[in-house]
Structure 1
Amino acid sequence: MATISSLGVGSNLNLADLLKQLQTAESQPLLALQERAKSYTSKLSAYGSIQSALGVLQASAKKLGDPALFQSVVGTPTVSGILSASATDVSAAGNYTIDVKQLAQAQTVISNGRADTKTAVGNGKITIDFGAITGGTLNETTGQYTGATFTPDATQVPKPITIDSSNNTLEGIRNAINSAKAGVTATIVNDGSGTPNRLVLTSSQTGEKSSMRITVDGDPALQGLLGNDPAGVQNLKQTSAAQNAKLIVNGIDVTSGTNTVKEAIQGATLTLVSTGKTGLSLKENTAGVKTAITDFVKAYNSLQSTAKTLTAYDPKTKTGAALVGDNTLRNLQSRIRQALTTPQAGGVNDMKVLTEIGVGFQKDGTLAIDNDKLDKALANNLKGVANLFSSGLGSTAGYGKQLDAIVTDLNSNALKVASDGVTSTIKELDDQYDAVQMRVDATVDRYRKQFNQLDVLINSMNNTKNYLTQQFNAMTGSNK
């Protein structure tokens, strides 16, 4: 059957525009579906914004629900650069005088120099054990002991290291010691002499019990390189002695195997940096607690602000935001506010409501802080403030813990159900759109075929008309 490449050419009618108008009319249901899908997509995005704001609120509530927040102590030395201090027990609060006499350090020993790091030394088995060197005399020049005693530390188990043809060079020995993770770090230092390459061994731990004794069972050359007994034959030179930290705390001598000194002050940890004398003030971390409470109030107000934006209505344009009249959001806000206005259980003198620490609701539904009242509560009754937000390990009481649990429940149930419902609706609308689009395409295609047939028909009729006109004209001319 004949066809027309461009609609309207054969009939001289504006069929292309007419088809376009028909297509627009048939597509009206698609526009409606698009608008509905857009509305539900905005709603899903709004739920995401609410979940994000809830996440910030939950994080701040969880922090307040942790008893450790209220038990932390801040240490302030009077002289900087000597030590830092922290504590997780408020009983450590107080003022102290600390004199750091000696820092803990690890032992370091070095081997005799070798000309090359890739030449074989010898095979055997190296065993490194740790302990304390007592008595005797240390020659500062040779770095070796005379008349000393080595007492092994039973808590540190020695680990044998095998040296064979695959690793018997200076580099191979270094790598074997490091790979064995035997409590020693091995390096090679070049001192620039004729035999410059020296193996350097440093204990991984500090303290008097971290001194090394190295036993070698194997070739004499390997023994001559590494064999080292502080109480016997010593082939290594000590350049740094293993020693404990020594300090005086309020007139009491204290020793520690590391520079992190725990429980010298009960419940506190001192981190030593250098020797010297300093005062130390340990105080309850009320500033940290106030910051956490302030962050909680900000997070709650941010949730309220987000909710207000998502439920706003513009009377001029008569349009509402994505969650206008949304029951899920309204119930969520109501549940959180109810939790924050329900008094906590407690004794006669315990704090039970937020207003007792200067935190209260405003007319617009937000929270505000009376800083003077909060500062006074933190200074005079930190334990009461702590119980208001967290009643200790294993308890579910306290606004911090309760809000944490509520947000978890909301995300797992109400918000999830609402979000899943909207997602399902969007999927259904997508399926409907595809189905309607197929019907529109089929209808327009049918119109296009009908218009083409009309075009062909009229074109044929025009051709016939022109032919007949020519014939009539020719007959008329012949008769004349």
Structure 2
Amino acid sequence: MVAPVSGLASGIDTKALVDAMVAANRGSTALLETRSKTFSNQLDLVRQINTKLLSAQLDLSAVRRTSTFAARSVSTSTSGVLTATANSSATPGSYQVTVDKVASAQQLSTAGFSSDTASIGTGTVTIGSATITLNASNSSLRGLAAAINDASSGVTASIINDGSSAPWRLVLTSKQSGANSTVNFDASGLSGGDSNNFKRVVASGGNIGTGTVTLNGLYSGASMPSAYALRVSGAGSEATATFEVSTNGGSTWNAVVNNAGTLDLGNGLTTTLAAGSYDAVDTWTLHSVQELSKAQDASIKYGTGTSTLSITSSQNQLTGVIPGVTLNLVAAGTTSVTVGNDTSKAKDAVTTFIKSLNDVLEFHKANASFDPDTGKAGPLLSDSALRSQLDEIVRGFTGRVNGLPEGAIDNVETLGISIEEKTGKLILNESVFDAALAANPDAVARVFANNGTSSNAGVQFSTVSEKTVVDQPFNVDITRAATQSKITGSGVLAGTTVITSSNGSLSLVINGRPVNAVLPPGSYSAQQLADQVKASVNAVATAGDQIETGLDSGRLIIRNRSFGSAQTIAAASTFSASSALGMATTTSVTGVDVAGTINGAVATGRGQVLYGVTGTNSDGLALFVNSSTALSGVKITVTKGAGQSANEALTKLTSVDGSLINKQDTLTEVIANLNDQVKRNDLRLESRRRYYQAKFLAMEQAMSKFQSLGNALTSSIQGFNANVSSSNKN
């Protein structure tokens, strides 16, 4: 590297001179840097516009949905009786509902234990259809509760402390509500520890009689004794012996009437005396289970007067009583349910989009205008293509919606939306918009959202895309209806089927995934059993694996809720309920997709949806086919709403291959090329700097030599003159 020089010989500031010469040669590079900065500024602005447009497009999605303009409000006169929600299919009006009973799940509490960690014995416990084994590692109330919660029993377990002398109780709650949600708990398989506390009857004296006692029922009172003591007060047979009972550990005794071998202990408990003799020394300890909550169906009446409709349900959330409305039962009582149009959602959606779009237009104008006072132009002033595309969005939103009936509202201007002449932004006249929305929300929806009408209810319009051409009706033929995958039992269900812990498990394979369900013990009619299979399976299946059930000539049908070839179902190899359900192992059954043509071209079916043909007018069209039979000659007329037109213009800008992304790519490439040129020019200038420095260094070195020679010559001449002068003096 050539060291910098400073004019030591010449007295010239060569460093400043070199810098000036390089700077003079860097003029073109400075222009490149200015251009790079200008383009970088444009790139930043384009990115900001793209972000703002994406936000506006997201806000536009609500405007494009018909449901936004069909939103419903719902209120109840007495929220303490029930609450309600409504979807867009609900019909405005007032309805009366009387709740007689709410659904509840059975909840049981065992007798009290003195410790929640002491041993309760080892062996087996049956809970629902699950069998749990207790050993030394988990033989406690807490260990049993944890094991129950880990098992697929349909029951949850918890431990409570009631503050008594034996405070620890095991509480069991069915995971399902309804009359069939009973909890089946049997701990007779335990021995040792405190296992006797689980046993209903324990002979506790030197019993010499041949008779035995059975405890029946569940304790329904407020405070259940930890145990009952029962003794014979007068010997005799099951019909003649007399008995006394104590609820406080034998401190006091009360006579109990023997009614032909049955003793009524009160609070829902009775004892049955088996045939035999009962001696005066015979005593028993009885342990009941307290019913904290009954297994109960919900019961309501819909309507007023003598024409009410009675409805029962195993759940407190009811759908279908009032179409489009979900009722959430809270307590017994009567209330009115009022459904109305909720116009606030539509107004909020339109207002939000207008604000978002105006934000884009205002931002663009601030960066694409010429200021005559300062003589400065915005960085985007020369981008006429962007200005034109933004105008296209506004035109798409405010233009006429083609295809709507003559005389109908067909543009947003009639709804109070106009373009401000000075700024180009959109203005919403709220009073005009509110009046139109209140008068005819369906007509307003047709202006903003895509709309389709069908000549046959079996084929309904679903959606379109920017590729769909809707200038003519679509001619649709359905050659094959979609089906659900379905398995059918081989045997007819009994008039009454009793489900117990030994025959209540059901195993299916739905869409390739195993689903194991437990049917609550109880007695079921054929239809009740079909309904319970649906409820039990759907309680444990994922959202995509839900099922429907029914009866076909008395045989159980289980089918996927969804349609099409992506849906499969089969009964597993073994499960205990197979006999009760008449459902043996089955091979996997697959559903069928809908098939048909649109404008004569074969369309693609997936489930119940028929999709348009790529490259034709129907490209991007989707139709929902709920017909169960083939159809021909169906005409579908489609209109694209203002929201769709604006979205298509937006998509041209914001999509992955849209103009804004292309513009960003182009600007990024231009900036990179300019920066690369600047780098190359600076390398050349640095080389030239070194050349200049070398030349000036050589000059300085040469001048230094000349100066040295001159100095030497001067010195010699001075010496010669001195010698001459000295000789003359002599």
Q: TM-score range by the shorter chain?
A: 0.7 to 0.9
Q: How does 1:54-69 map to 2 (within 5 A)?
A: 54-69=53-68
Q: 1:381 aligns to what? A: 440
Q: Which has the higher strand share?
A: 2
1:76 and 1:84 in contact (8 A); partners too: yes
**Cα distance in 1 for residues equivalent to 2:107 and 2:370:** 75
**Identity across aligned pairs (percent)?**
27
1:18 partnered with 2:23: no
Name the SS for the 1:105 alignment partner.
coil
What amino acid maps onto 1:240 in structure 2?
S
Alignment of 1:243 onto 2:488: no
Contact 2:111–2:287 (CA<8 Å) still a contact in 1? Answer: no
Question: What are the Cα deviations for residues 298-331 of structure 1, in whole angstroms up to 9, with x where unaligned?
Answer: 2332332223223111223332222213133133
**1:140 matched to which residue of 2?**
none
- Residue matched to 2:75: 76
Task: Look up the SS of the partner of 1:24 in the other structure.
Answer: helix
The answer for the alignment partner of 1:286 in structure 2 is: 343
- TM-score, scaled relative to structure 2: 0.55
Query: Relative to 1, partners in 2 of residues 1:207 and 1:227: Cα closer, same or farther, differing over 3 Å?
Result: farther
User: What is the aligned partner in structure 1 of residue 241 from structure 2?
Assistant: none
- Deviation, 1:56, is 2.9
Equivalent residue of 2:373, what SS? Answer: coil
TM-score by length of 1: 0.80
Map Cα deviations across residues 40-71 of structure 1 (whole Å, 9 max, x no partner).
12222222222223223322322122122233
Are residues 1:370 and 2:429 paired? yes
Matches within 5 A, 1:47-126: 47-80=46-79, 82-119=81-118, 121-124=120-123, 126=125
Distance 1:167 1:319, change over 3 A: farther
Unaligned runs of 5+ in 1: 130-157
Matched residue pairs, number?
451
Residues in 1 aligned to 2:380 and 2:695: alpha-carbon distance in whole angstroms = 47
| 1:402 equivalenced with 2:645 (yes/no) | yes
SS at structure 2 position matched to 1:200? strand
CA-CA distance at 1:5 after TM superposition: 7.1
CA distance in 2, matches of 1:82, 1:471: 128
CA distance, structure 1, for counterparts of residue 196 and residue 691 of structure 2: 100
| C-alpha distance in structure 1 between counterparts of 2:59 and 2:140, whole Å | 58
Change (3 A) 1:116 1:19: farther
Residue identity in the other structure for 2:412: L
- Distance in 2 (CA, whole Å) between partners of 1:86 and 1:78 is 14
Of the three residues 331, 337, 345, the one matched with 2:388 is 331
Match of 1:415 in 2: 660
How far apart in 2 are the matches of 1:94 and 1:163?
A: 58
Offset from partner CA, 1:88-132 (integer Å, 9 cap, x none): 245431123444454433333334444555555455555533xxx
Question: C-alpha separation between the residues in 2 aligned to 1:194 and 1:461?
Answer: 121
Separation of aligned partners in 1, 2:29 and 2:136: 79
Q: Is the 8 A contact 2:49 2:360 kept in 1?
A: yes
**In structure 2, how many angstroms separate the alpha carbons of the residues matched to 1:185 and 1:459?**
103
Question: Aligned pair in 2 of structure 1 residues 11, 305: CA closer, same or farther (>3 Å)?
Answer: same
**Kept after mapping to 2: 8 A contact 1:213/1:230:** no
Which amino acid in structure 2 is aligned with residue 108 of structure 1? Q
CA 1:224–1:244: 2 relative to 1, 3 Å: farther
State the Cα distance separating 1:459 from its structure 2 match: 4.0
Residue 82 of structure 1 contacts residue 274 of structure 1 at CA under 8 Å; is this kept in 2?
A: yes
The offset of 1:181, in angstroms, is 5.4
Matched, 1:219 2:219: no
The equivalent residue for 2:680 is 435
Shift of 1:273: 4.4
Matched to 1:401, the amino acid is: Q
Shift of 1:200: 3.0
2-structure distance, mates of 1:248, 1:17? 101
Equivalent residues of 2:5, 2:696 under 8 A apart? no
Secondary structure of 1:55's aligned partner: helix
**Distance in 1 (alpha carbons) for counterparts of 2:711 and 2:364:** 75
Residue 224 of structure 1 contacts residue 235 of structure 1 at CA under 8 Å; is this kept in 2? Answer: no
Residue identity matched to 1:344: N
Q: 1:301 to 1:457 in 2, by over 3 A?
A: same
SS class of match (2:326): strand
CA–CA distance in 1 between the matches of 2:9 and 2:104? 101
The yes-or-no answer on 1:307 pairing with 2:364 is yes
Task: Give 1:345 deviation, angstroms.
Answer: 0.9
- For the residues of structure 2 that align with 1:432 and 1:226, how far apart are their CA atoms? 89
Question: What is the deviation of 1:281?
Answer: 2.2
Amino acid at match of 1:441: E
Greater Cα radius of gyration, structure 1 or 2: 2
Q: Distance in 1 between matches of 2:426 and 2:693?
A: 65
Q: Which amino acid letter does the alignment assign opposite residue 399 of structure 1?
A: A
Secondary structure of the equivalent of 2:432?
helix
**Higher mean displacement: 202-211 or 42-51:** 202-211
* Paired letter, 2:374: T
- Distance in 2, Cα, partners of 1:217 & 1:423: 79
